[in-house]
Amino acid sequence: MKVLIINGSPRVNGNTTIAIREMEQVFAENGVETETVQIGMKDVRGCIACGRCGELGKCVFDDAVNDLAPKFEAADGLVIASPVYYASANATLIACLDRLFYSTHFNKAMKVGASVVCARRGGCSATFDELNKYFTIANMPIASSQYWNSIHGREPGKAQMDEEGKQTMRVLARNMTFLMKSIALGKEQFGLPETEERVWTHFIP
């Protein structure tokens, strides 16, 4: 089992990292390999809808997105973590995810997804919903916890004081581990769900 963790924070060892480390510890205890990639400070441009990824099999802009693609394909689960800016995720992270999900054409079905958000005070629920939309358009089950997956802290390190938030992350990692292992067993016995040829209905032909 392997989980790819994408940290959208531009701050190394910030409060978002505190949440991730709680999860990493639980994953390690349960024999799940993790790889964390921090992209918050990387130069990642947004999608320009050129469509070249359909021809090339990868994004035309050769940056961190193309580096993440094979890691995502090999992973059984994906954790997306972000600080909250104006009730939204980090813009670099969103640019990365738009291109990562659109330019990769491997089957993402039944890879388990989880989003984690960190804020001083508000905007967590909106950001949480925003990140989960990447999973729900890709046939990816979402792991949940005992509360929405958020942790709080303003200055670096302050999230260590959020005991409930840290516990939420540990429970999330345990639940995600169970779901990934259950899906792996289900694949062995039943295979993946039957697929249909994709139907497209455009609002304006």
Residue 146 CA to residue 140 CA, distance in Å, equals: 20
Residue 168 CA to residue 144 CA, distance in Å, equals: 9
Task: Give the tokens for residue 45.
Answer: 């441009």
Residue 14 forms beta bridges with which residues? Answer: none
Q: What is the pLDDT of residues 25-63, one digit of tens each?
A: 999 999 999 999 999 999 999 999 999 999 999 999 999
> In which band, very low, low, confident or very high, does the pLDDT at 205 lie, cut at 50, 70 and 90?
confident
CB 24 within 8 A of CB 171: no
**pTM (predicted TM-score):** 0.96
Q: What is the pLDDT of residues 63-89, one digit of tens each?
A: 999 999 999 999 999 999 999 999 999
Residue 100 three-state SS? helix
Q: Which sign, positive or negative, has the C-alpha torsion 160, 165, 166, 167?
A: positive
Distant-in-sequence, close-in-space partners of 10: CB < 8 Å, separation ≥ 6? 40, 41, 90, 92
Residue 161 three-state SS? helix
Q: What is the pLDDT of residues 163-189, one digit of tens each?
A: 999 999 999 999 999 999 999 999 999
**Mind listing the domains of the chain with CATH numbers?**
2-190 (3.40.50.360)
Work out the average pLDDT over 195-203.
Answer: 93
